[in-house]
Chains A and B, each alone.
Chain A
Amino acid sequence: LCPQWPYCRKRCSYCNFNTYVVPAVDEAAMRACLVREALTLLRLSQVHSVTSVFFGGGTPSLASPRTVGAVLEAVAGAAHLPAGAEVTLEANPSSTSTSRLSGFRAAGVNRLSIGVQSLDDAELRLLGREHTAEEARKAVEVAQGLFPGRTSIDLLFGLPGQSRDAWAQQLEAALGLCDDHISLYQLTLERGTVLAAQVWGGVLPAPPPDLLADMYQTAHTVLVAAGFRHYEVSNFARKGALSTHNLSYWQADQYIGVGPGAHGRFVPRGEGGCSREARVQTLEPVAWMREVQSQGHGTRSRVVLSPLEQLEELLTLGLRTDEGITHERWGHFSPELSLQDVFGVPGEAWALQQQGWLLLDGSGLRCTWAGLAVLDSLLPDLLWQLQRR
């Protein structure tokens, strides 16, 4: 289940998510609607067991523990929420006081993902973040105290003007600070954001592609040396602390998006559906609440995914992980054509294997480390090959 809290206190300079900065939030109404929609969609999907919950947004740590608790209770009531299920909350360092985090833990959260983004104050200002590096450090410490082994930090690299050395230093600092899970994202300039305008307008320097490649390489080397497993393009975990929830995206499991702008992929068995659908909830909170209040859920669009489309998603997402796509998982979506049938014959995949980007063997289809870094150059070829078959 993926509940969304679409509010922030301010918009960071690089963010283009569906989030809103409003003077006051009607928390009670939002809570009621989140609960209502969660119940409606759970019933619709006829899901028996919810394996993980991820509170995203926006800034979920701005919601009250009461809201978080209410949603979790509703889920537990409508379906089976196992005791050990991963329940993650995304948090901003500026709303992670001990008391607050304790509140969340009491409400049922057992994993915390903190948006640190950078451990350098100048960079944090560039990114438009609300906190300082020191505040971020403190937040991680507090979180680790409450969620030992289950705290993750997000970091960005490839900022305009960031040097190779600066990044290396950050990695060092991050290693000293972090728990057992790190998400490292290369900064992506999105149209409509302040930062993109600054870079494209020439006010800030654009990071050179080679530097970005180096930074990524360095990150991989350093983290792997420190015992982390690079299990997805941007995600590293040690001691087995992988994010169950995110893995379910990349394995193309079912997930239910709840809240404004949330995305979902499930089969609406409750209405007699038998095909996996791609669903999006209404983006704007006020409109969404109205719809939830009148119809029980605010689903803006739902599109049936054809078997080919489902396979395409599986391919695109699965190859992002180090394990790739297992034969078994593939077989679930493609009972007649195995990975071997599609990609084991002379063609694009064959050529990519020869060139050292891909591997197709007994366990499945996956990228080599080098291939992972250029996955988006491999995918069009593979999709084309899949489509032809």
Chain B
Amino acid sequence: QEKLDMSMYPVESIRNFSIIAHVDHGKSTLADRLLEITGTISKTDCNKQVLDKLQVERERGITVKAQSASLFYNHEGINYLLNLIDTPGHVDFSYEVSRSLSACQGVILVVDANEGIQAQTVANFYLAFEAQLSIIPVINKIDLKNADPERVEKQIEKLFDIPTDECIRISAKQGTNVEKVLQKVIEKIPPPQCNTADPLKALVFDSTFDHYRGVIANVALFGGEIEKGHKIVSAHTKKRYEVNEVGILTPNQQPTHKLYAGQVGYLIAGMKEVTEAQIGDTLFLYKQPVEPLPGFKSAKPMVFAGMYPIDQTEYNNLRSALERLTLNDSSVTVHRDSSLALGAGWRLGFLGLLHMEVFNQRLEQEYNMSVILTAPTVPYKAVLSSAKLIKEYGKDQITIINPAQFPDKLSVSEYLEPTVLGTIVTPHEYIGKIIALCQDRRAVQKDMLYIDENRVMLKYLFPLNEIVVDFYDVLKSLSSGYASFDYEDAGYQSADLIKMDILLNGNPVEELATIIHSDKAYTAGKLLCERLKEAIPRQLFEIAIQAAIGKKIIARETLKAYRKNVVAKCYGGDITRRMKLLKRQAEGKRLMRKIGNVEVPRDAFIRILKRETDK
């Protein structure tokens, strides 16, 4: 295959840009159209979400992994190289978005002509704005009946201070005005400011793992040039590699002789794991170190969930599935964990709820594994005051992921919980309910602003754990789907945390202990007791189910004893069926966990511990 010669594209003819938008506003469809217009892919009816290669992306209509594509376009006699960097549209991946943006000089901000500005429109705008990128506003879906581009233009002007005449009205689906967008990109977005004469400085903005070729790193060159045979070093890991191949993505891999400053493409350099090519890392030539590009951070998990095989016999299968899935997702943190109830498993850290759901879905679809996913928890912290514990842990501030690790109040000077700054955009008729919801979730209002006559933007500081379970779902249903939500990490705050135990006839059930804010303890305890009452089978004696904080009981349910439990008829025809059932129950005895004298089947634990799935 002929290798492309990238030297034909001097820096002045290069435009690096990204498309940012709120979920479902048409980002990927616009990308499809751009690829078609530039001849990168042929125009057929089946070009739908071309850049979304993962099945889960295509099904859910979301972009999870950032892809890039190099487009070639001739405008007014000049051949331009336009590098489109597709970004994940979801809040969980804002770090990826920010790294992709740092490889760009401009963005196309897509807003739905009917929905208008939504929470992520705002969040993504600010990311681009802070990165000092040129912003081209595009109003999409003008072909739909309820489109009101004029209103949206006014919103954009009011909120982002961009004049209405800079907006381009398009229909990505039909292709209307899409070419204008390309031209605007060339006119308005500056070429990259960099020099091929400088030493190599490459930003890794994504990486994938290929079984045969190893890690493929998506890079943007901020200086210098790179080709096969070069020896490069990772600023983060300090490891050294030799480059095997470089190329561009169209969107499939197309090898080239070299890549030059200002260009975007991929390289393969004998890296074995994606953790060796972390997003945000800087690559430079051996013996020519450079100042690493700013903004690199190791993936920080926001949400934790326990993952257990449905049956312990599946443990090994699940382990290899996890290994393979995390090959391509270096932002999932994996720790081995075990539960008395569920056996051996893992505690996984995700960037957010969507990340966790997508991961779970990929596990099911790509590896055919069904797992028990326990309710998400967040990493709490404690500032220790006990000398003994400080010595034991080697530091005075610890992170608590497992309730069993929760240090007692007496040994702690302060407990901390993670918080996020959430942005909600909603039609004004739902304000009352939403404010009430936020208050219920211990959130503190930081800002409230009308973005137009109908819609309000609210900013609240939330404790993260109040959001991870079902906040988004509740928000959506309260507002008939019209409210949108986005959040970003806002550090830790002091919190009145306690450990709530569950007791059965006085004996604690370790697996069900939870760390919770004292305000919420009563409601949570009551709910848990009620759920347990439904989940535990009746026994020959009464069972007292209690939620307790230390010695104090805060909630209780009673499961009455069986007074009659014998099948009425047992004659010839009934016997076989009866025996089957009884023998199954006898088998079940093997898997029973005995808490004191109370028998709790594994199934009951699963029902209580597992995460409520979306309806």
> Which A residues lie at the B interface, using CB under 8 A?
2, 17-18, 56, 185-188, 209-210, 212-213, 216, 233-234, 246, 249-250, 255, 257, 261-265, 278, 280, 309, 312-313, 316-317, 320, 355, 357, 372-381, 383-384, 387
Cβ–Cβ contact B568 & A188, under 8 A: yes
* Inter-chain contacts of A264 with B (CB < 8 A): 572
Q: How far is the CA of A278 from the CA of B578 in the complex (A)?
A: 13
Using known A-B contacts A263-B576, A316-B579, determine if residue A209 contacts B569 with beta carbons closer than 8 Å: no
Chain B minimum-CB-distance residue to A212: B564
8 Å CB interface, B423-444 against A = none
* Inter-chain contacts of A372 with B (CB < 8 A): 566
A190 → chain B closest CB, angstroms: 11
Cβ–Cβ contact A209 & B578, under 8 A: no
* Inter-chain contacts of B572 with A (CB < 8 A): 2, 249, 255, 257, 262-265
Q: How far is the CA of A249 from the CA of B575 in the complex (A)?
A: 9
* Inter-chain contacts of B562 with A (CB < 8 A): 209, 374, 377
Sample 11 A-B pairs with CB under 8 A, ordered by A number: A2-B572, A213-B564, A234-B568, A249-B570, A257-B573, A278-B576, A316-B575, A377-B562, A380-B586, A384-B586, A387-B586
Which of B563, B571, B576, B579 is A213 in contact with, Cβ under 8 Å?
B563
> Which B residues lie at the A interface, using CB under 8 A?
539-540, 560, 562-573, 575-576, 578-579, 582-583, 585-586, 588-590
* Inter-chain contacts of B590 with A (CB < 8 A): 384
The 9 closest A-B pairs by CB, nearest first: A213-B563, A380-B585, A383-B586, A213-B564, A375-B566, A185-B568, A263-B572, A380-B586, A384-B586
* Inter-chain contacts of A263 with B (CB < 8 A): 572-573, 575-576
Cβ–Cβ contact A210 & B575, under 8 A: no
Chain B minimum-CB-distance residue to A387: B586
Chain B minimum-CB-distance residue to A232: B570
Which of A188, A312, A355 is B540 in contact with, Cβ under 8 Å?
A355
Cβ–Cβ contact B563 & A374, under 8 A: yes
B306 → chain A closest CB, angstroms: 29
* Inter-chain contacts of A56 with B (CB < 8 A): 571
Which of B565, B569, B582, B589 is A316 in contact with, Cβ under 8 Å?
B582
Using known A-B contacts A234-B569, A317-B575, determine if residue A376 contacts B586 with beta carbons closer than 8 Å: no
Cβ–Cβ contact B576 & A280, under 8 A: yes
Cβ–Cβ contact B573 & A261, under 8 A: yes
Q: How far is the CA of A357 from the CA of B585 in the complex (A)?
A: 19
Q: How far is the CA of A383 from the CA of B587 in the complex (A)?
A: 9
Q: How far is the CA of A316 from the CA of B566 in the complex (A)?
A: 11
Cβ–Cβ contact A383 & B583, under 8 A: yes
Chain B minimum-CB-distance residue to A264: B572
Chain A minimum-CB-distance residue to B574: A263
* Inter-chain contacts of B539 with A (CB < 8 A): 377
Cβ–Cβ contact A188 & B569, under 8 A: yes
Which of A246, A309, A355, A374 is B566 in contact with, Cβ under 8 Å?
A374
Q: How far is the CA of A56 from the CA of B573 in the complex (A)?
A: 11
* Inter-chain contacts of A280 with B (CB < 8 A): 576
B584 → chain A closest CB, angstroms: 9
* Inter-chain contacts of B566 with A (CB < 8 A): 233, 320, 372-376
* Inter-chain contacts of A233 with B (CB < 8 A): 566-568, 570
